[in-house]
Every structure is written in C-alpha cells, then in structure tokens.
Amino acid sequence: MSVDTEGGDDLRERITNFLRRNFPQIQMHGGSAAIQQLDRESGEVHIQLGGACSGCGISPMTIQAIKSRMTKEIPEITTVHADTGMGGGADGDLGGMGHSGGGGMSPSFPGESADEQGEEDEGPQAPF
C-alpha cells in the first residue's frame, strides 16, 4: 500500500491547519513551520521551524507546545519531532543554544581579567 494515499494527504493537511490555527505567532513573527517527514504507519511527524524561529529564544517553548498539543488534537500522531535547524540537538530541545563547547563568550567581571597591556580592568569609573 502506498503512503501517498488520499487519506494521507488529509492527515498532512490537518497537521498544517493545526500549526496555522494553534501557532499563528510563528508566521506573524517571521517564522515558518513545515512538515519535513510524515510516517503514517508509526504516527511520527518531523516539523522544521525556520525563518525567525531559528535562534529565537522562545522556540524551545513553541516546540514543546507543538509536541504536547498535536498528539492530543490529532490522534493519528503519536510522536512529534521538531527542530529549529540551529543545531540545538534532537528536537531542538536546546533551541540552538547547545553547550557543544567552543565559540562561546565567558562573562567578564571588573578586576577579574587583564587587558592587552597587562593592566587590570576595574570597570567604568564612577563620575564622583
């Protein structure tokens, strides 16, 4: 049996409508949500959030809401995988802010580091 049946297209359409109806803020804020893969037999769907969603600080919350609500509202879907494409790990659970080492900046505090001339940084001077 082919996976591209008419009933399957209905499921894809229901998922798309679910995303538009329940998460209009995605599109309103310049983002997008697309079905990357749909396995009707296992009930798994892979959603890719793009545009402004990539790197957005609340993308992890949006992903969790999609996962929670889609499985409740569309009974054929048992598992939702979603990602922002920012390399945040499986399902975008880190929202593109993974701790994969390197490239990050450490906080610096006055008096804690030395500048290029070897002088200590004591922060900005008070005007009094």
**Is 6-92 in CATH node 3.30.300.130?**
yes
Residue 80 gets the label, from left (phi > 0), alpha (psi -120 to 50) or beta, of beta
Widest CA span of the chain, in angstroms? 81
* Inter-residue contact 18 to 11 (CB < 8 Å): no
Q: How does pLDDT run across 61-89, given as a tens digit for each residue?
A: 999 999 999 999 999 999 999 998 765 44
pLDDT of residue 96: 34
pTM of the entire structure?
0.61
- Sorted by where each begins, the domain ranges of the chain are 6-92
